[in-house]
Structure 1
Amino acid sequence: MSNTKIITLNVKGINHVIKRRKIISLLKKDRVQIALLQETHLTDSEHLKLKRDWVGQIYYSSFNSKSRGVAILVHKNLPFTLHTIVRDTDGRFILITGLLYGELILLGSVYAPNTFDRSFYSNFLAKTSPVCRNHVIIGGDFNCGLNPETDYNPPKSQPSSKMAKATTDLCSYLGLFDAWRVCNPHVKDFTFFSRPHFSFSRIDYMFVSGSVLGRTRGCLIHTCALSDHSSVSMELSPPYYDPSSRHWRLNPALLSDPNFVKYLEDHASTLWEAGKAFLRGSVISFTSAKKKSSLAKQLVLERDITDLEREFKKSSSISVLRKLDAARSALDQLLTQKAETAIFYAKHRLFESGNKPGRLLARLAQGKRGSYNSNNNNHDNKLENDNNKLKALGHRPRTMTTRTKINCCNGSNN
């Protein structure tokens, strides 16, 4: 059983289908199993569109299509069983509790106001306290640096802000720790760059309880070219080792068994089958090499962005900023091309298999059940209204069969 990778990221709006695809693909590439997203700018129906590819479960709190919105994405292979959901009506936070590897855990995604709002903190504390468990992971954009000296560049000389004090008091009351600061006590890094103020700050956090902190295997800040915020990730080790999670491997001792070798020889494919297998393998090899080349280019750009961002944090040079913007633009074009290709193939699959019996058609039909039920309800309501009018006139009420016959007669007359 491998570690569970959890990430928090302010996505700065994903209401465009291309950016939505790029974010999902980026999280998949980074092997993320739980994603805590902020500023999704999605409605309830748009949030449900995130449930695709590797995403098996999604929980969200919407505000409107222009601001706020938070979501929690859970990998389809992660054994998470939901217990309770706590939503904020203003799209500021979403909390869920459930079983993960047999342990009751609380997960939360938070987008705090960018100005001090006492009602937000009191509301968050009031809704979190009843469901707070021993294992807690809350990530998000809290819009404040906790320490004015280490969480800002250039450092601030004035004391901590009201927002920082309220966030610190919140963590103290719930028994939470800043996972990144605990894992990196002497490192100075930041998650947001303000162009108007030309300053850096660390305002994105991963707050965890003491029991989770003991099983945290590293907490890192990553560069994200798709947002103006950097992501913060952590890896949580499982509570136990599961031997059944191992992959199958060939027993090499079988190769020295004459009966096994003869079995393979007797079941060898024909020359034509071997030729098809060779061509198939060649095509797969070429496609795989092409994907690896594209991925290598993406990794080089991401590494360049990370190095340039680190250099810019130290020097604040305009020339370095221009190189950083150019690298981000190149990476964005590459990811856009990948997202467009993925959408093209999705449309192609829908065109080829959308009207044929199968899982795709079943999924499409599943979303139509509600409309069918509403149509049946409308017919029933109309029939009941007609019967009430007939009773008022002294006539015999009509049944569904009678109504059908009348409609058929009307159709034949026309």
Structure 2
Amino acid sequence: MLFDEKIGALVVGETHLSAAQADEIQEALGKRMDIYHSPNPDNPSTRGVAIVLNREITNTKGVKVWYLKPGRAILAVLPWHGRRTHTVLGVYAPAESMEENKKFWDELYDMWMTMDLPVPNSFKGDLNLAEEPIDRMPHRKDQEAAVAALARFKRLLGLEDGWRKVNPDTKEYTYASPHNTLSRIDRIYVPSSDLKHYRDWSISDAAGGLTDHRLVSVIVKAPGAPFIGKGRFTIPVFLLRDKKFLEFTSMVGADLEEKIANSPEDAKAIQNGFKAFKDCIRDFARVRSKIAIGALEQKKRKLQQQRKEVLN
């Protein structure tokens, strides 16, 4: 998921990993990613929070990390564009009781009041707390003391719920409990003053069956950074196993070989023919890729739309 979705920094809660297991993952995938893991010291098979960096698209040199609360909170300053940095706070808040949840936010508040900690540019994770009734289905209020403690911590850092700011009335949820209730307990908070630099807020099913939580994501752009588009079209890998695409490619390729054989001395004609061959394959790949995945994608989008209509 980290690589397929091109995620630069991923916060993972409820990792259920020991330090040794996290080291094994780092050793196996260290060329592609870095994992900063904070396990539960009493029982590594429970709790745990990690920040995972995609080395293919993220600068991972000189990362500074604070392990604030073992298994619960981790802070990392990431090198970004030029001399800029991006500070990430990852949390997995207590779910045992609202009293423990409140205590967690109070302790984080005290840390920022007494320690020389940088203000996060993004604060994300599983908060095990909904701030508003709309974020639960059926609608209900969470314990006011816990909500107030989180609100106080947010005010101290000047952060707000970016997804809710962009979608003020939308009902969307990140977790479905075994008791058939829904909640939006996974959130990303960003500085209110920098909200304009965050775009494409999303709650998606990209995580698939890897977790019982849905993925919350956002794209952040450095102020003054040049616009970077989607890049050039590339032929999807699955088309290399598509019978119709392979038959078409073989046919067009055979035509090109025949033209080359008939005019071996005309270098310009050969180059023009090769370019026309590539353009033809590219155009066919665009059309064929939409047809090949069309039925599945249409079914997926239809189900997603039905879910939105039911919720809203």
Fold similarity call, TM over 0.5: yes
Q: Is the 8 A contact 2:171 2:311 kept in 1?
A: no
Structure of greater Rg? 1
Q: Does 1:70 align with 2:44?
A: no
Equivalences for residues 131-150 of structure 1 within 5 A: 131-133=117-119, 136-148=121-133, 150=134
Aligned equivalents of 2:4, 2:228: Cα separation in 1: 25
| CA-to-aligned-CA distance 1:167-204 (integer Å, 9 cap, x gap) | 111111111111111111122222222232x3222111
2:29 aligns with: 52
* Secondary structure of 2:153's aligned partner: helix
Instruction: Please state how far the C-alpha of 1:309 moved relative to its aligned partner.
Output: 3.6
With over 3 angstroms needed to count, the CA separation of the structure-2 counterparts of 1:244 and 1:38, relative to structure 1, is closer
- Give the counterpart of 2:72 among 58, 83, 92: 92
Instruction: Please state how far the C-alpha of 1:126 moved relative to its aligned partner.
Output: 3.7
Equivalences for residues 28-39 of structure 1 within 5 A: 28-39=3-14
Q: Structure 2: which 5+ runs fail to align? A: 233-264
1:325 aligns with: none
Aligned equivalents of 2:14, 2:61: Cα separation in 1: 26
- Give the counterpart of 2:203 among 195, 216, 221: 221
Instruction: Please state how far the C-alpha of 1:217 moved relative to its aligned partner.
Output: 1.4
Equivalences for residues 348-367 of structure 1 within 5 A: none
1:170 aligns with: 153
- For 1:182, the aligned partner's letter is K
Larger RCO (alpha carbons 8 Å, 6+ apart): 1
- For 2:163, the aligned partner's letter is W
- For 1:205, the aligned partner's letter is R
Q: Is the 8 A contact 1:193 1:228 kept in 2?
A: yes
Aligned equivalents of 2:203, 2:168: Cα separation in 1: 14
With over 3 angstroms needed to count, the CA separation of the structure-2 counterparts of 1:163 and 1:293, relative to structure 1, is farther
Length-normalised TM-score, structure 2: 0.68
Q: Structure 1: which 5+ runs fail to align? A: 1-23, 249-262, 315-414
- For 1:265, the aligned partner's letter is A
- Give the counterpart of 1:208 among 190, 205, 208: 190
With over 3 angstroms needed to count, the CA separation of the structure-2 counterparts of 1:228 and 1:246, relative to structure 1, is closer
With over 3 angstroms needed to count, the CA separation of the structure-2 counterparts of 1:132 and 1:289, relative to structure 1, is same
Equivalences for residues 161-310 of structure 1 within 5 A: 161-196=144-179, 198-223=180-205, 224-226=207-209, 227-242=211-226, 265=267, 299-300=297-298, 302-310=300-308
Aligned equivalents of 2:35, 2:15: Cα separation in 1: 13
With over 3 angstroms needed to count, the CA separation of the structure-2 counterparts of 1:100 and 1:37, relative to structure 1, is same
Aligned equivalents of 2:230, 2:286: Cα separation in 1: 25
With over 3 angstroms needed to count, the CA separation of the structure-2 counterparts of 1:28 and 1:306, relative to structure 1, is farther
Instruction: Determine which structure has the larger helix proportion and give its number.
Output: 1
- Give the counterpart of 2:16 among 25, 41, 56: 41
Instruction: Please state how far the C-alpha of 1:155 moved relative to its aligned partner.
Output: 1.7
* Secondary structure of 1:145's aligned partner: coil
Q: Is the 8 A contact 1:82 1:96 kept in 2?
A: no
Instruction: Please state how far the C-alpha of 1:236 moved relative to its aligned partner.
Output: 0.8
- Paired residues, number: 261
Q: Does 1:61 align with 2:24?
A: no
With over 3 angstroms needed to count, the CA separation of the structure-2 counterparts of 1:294 and 1:166, relative to structure 1, is farther
With over 3 angstroms needed to count, the CA separation of the structure-2 counterparts of 1:306 and 1:53, relative to structure 1, is farther
2:92 aligns with: 111
Instruction: Please state how far the C-alpha of 1:145 moved relative to its aligned partner.
Output: 0.8
- For 1:38, the aligned partner's letter is G
With over 3 angstroms needed to count, the CA separation of the structure-2 counterparts of 1:45 and 1:167, relative to structure 1, is same
* Secondary structure of 1:28's aligned partner: coil
The percent identity for this pair of structures is 23
